[in-house]
Amino acid sequence: MRAESACLDDTLSLITSSAVELIPGAEQAGIAVRTSGLCFESRAATGPLPSVVDALQREAGDGPCVESMRERRTILVTDMRCESRWPAVSSGSAAAGVGSALVLCLYTGEVHGALHVHSSRAEAFDEHSVDVGTSLATHAAIALVASRQEEQLRDALASRDVIGQAKGMLMERFAVGADDAFVLLRKLSQERNVPLRRIAGHVVDAGR
C-alpha cells in the first residue's frame, strides 16, 4: 500500500482487492470515501454489490457504512434478510443479493470512510474475518491518508507551475512586474468567480 500511495485510485483499488483476497468470506468489496460530515462517495468497488448498497445508504441517509463512520466502529451484518437496524437499506441490499456484510471504519484520528465487504451467503463472516478486516482497515486508513497527501502535493505543485507560466506571459504581454501580474490574475479570478488555477490555465492556453 505504501508503494501505491502516490495514486489515490490505485491505492483504493489495492485496498478493496486485498480485502476480497484476505478477509475470509468476502466476495466483493468497496470503499465509502468520506467527503464531508457523514456524506461519502463510492470508490474502487470490485463488483456491483458495494455500489448498490452505497446508493441505498445515500438515499436513506443511514446504513452500515454511515453507522460505522458515525460510531467509529466495526459493523457486522450476519443475515441481511433479517437485519432491522436500517430497514430500507437492508431489504434493498438483500434483494440485490447481499447475504451478509462486514463494514470497517477507516480511522486515523479522524474518519476517512469505511471499507465494506459483502457475501452472497448469510453468516459468511466470523470472528477471524473481523480480526483480519480490522488489521487491513488500519493499514488501509494510513495508506489512504498518504495517498491523499501526495495527491494534494502534486495538485499544489501543478497549480504553482501553471500560475507561474501565466504570470510570465502577463509580464511579457503588459510589461509589468511579477506582483502586478499576480494581482491581475487574482482580480480576474474574483471577478469571474473562477479558481485562480483555472484562470491561469486559460491564460496559458490562450498564449500558446
Least confident residue range of 67-71, 82-86, 142-146: 142-146
Does residue 121 surpass a pLDDT of 90? yes
pLDDT band at residue 125, thresholds of 50, 70 and 90? very high
Is 202 within 8 Å of 165 (Cβ atoms)? no
Q: Does residue 30 sit in the same domain as residue 119?
A: yes
Residue 2 lies in a domain: no
Q: What was the pLDDT predicted at 146? A: 84
Instruction: Tell me the mean pLDDT in the region 184-201.
Output: 85
Final residue in a domain of this structure, among 107, 128, 152: 152
Q: Does residue 145 sit in the same domain as residue 183?
A: no
Q: What was the pLDDT predicted at 154? A: 67
Residue 41 lies in a domain: yes
In CATH, what number is assigned to the domain containing residue 176?
1.10.10.10
> How far is the C-alpha of 49 from the C-alpha of 21, rounded, in Å?
17
pLDDT band at residue 54, thresholds of 50, 70 and 90? very high
Residue numbers of the domain that contains 98 = 8-152
36 compared with 83, residue with greater pLDDT: 83
> Any idea which residue has 505543485 for its cell?
157
Q: What was the pLDDT predicted at 150? A: 75
Tell me the whole-structure pTM to 2 decimals. Answer: 0.75
